[in-house]
Amino acid sequence: MPRKRLDLTFPPRQATKPVTYHLVKDFDLVPNILRAQIHPGQEGRMVLEVTGRKEDFEAGVAFLESEGIVVKPAATDICLDEEKCVLCGLCTAVCRPGALTLNGRGDELVFDKDKCVYCEACVVACPRRAITLSF
């Protein structure tokens, strides 16, 4: 079954709705929350990986949008500015899934796209601001 990553922005009032419950129950989708920052009464953001059939996926997205949630495709790649990168390795220290690693002698920063969950921890941690998420 196809899997897609979505980047959801919740307007302040909608932030308390149990939308993932509805995605499962009403649309037969399997959501996996990669990142969530939801505070009642404030704008929230959630990065979801959704597995399900195409029709269900489309209906699910339509439901989210009808709830006032802004749905965008989530980042699918990271972009590394090699001019800025000093190969310090700080980003590898926060990458829990192990998508970013320094190779054997520390001379090369390797990105394994399959392992990345687009949590943005590396973006925040890089002291050179050398990493940006891209689509």
Residues 67-86 that bind another protein (CB under 8 A): 84, 86
Site membership for ligand SF4, residue 78 (CB under 6 A): yes
Q: Does 95 bind ligand SF4 (CB under 6 A)?
A: yes
Q: Does 96 bind another protein (CB under 8 A)?
A: yes
97 scored as a contact of ligand SF4 (CB under 6 A):
yes
Q: Which long-range contacts (CB under 8 A, 24 or more apart) does 39-45 make?
A: 39/15, 40/15, 40/16, 41/12, 41/15, 42/12, 42/15, 43/9, 43/10, 43/11, 43/12, 43/15, 44/9, 44/10, 44/15, 45/7, 45/8, 45/9, 45/10
Task: Tell me whether residue 94 or residue 133 sits nearer to another protein (CB atom).
Answer: 94
Q: Which residues bind another protein (CB under 8 A)?
A: 84, 86-96, 98, 101-102, 105-108, 121, 124-125, 127-129
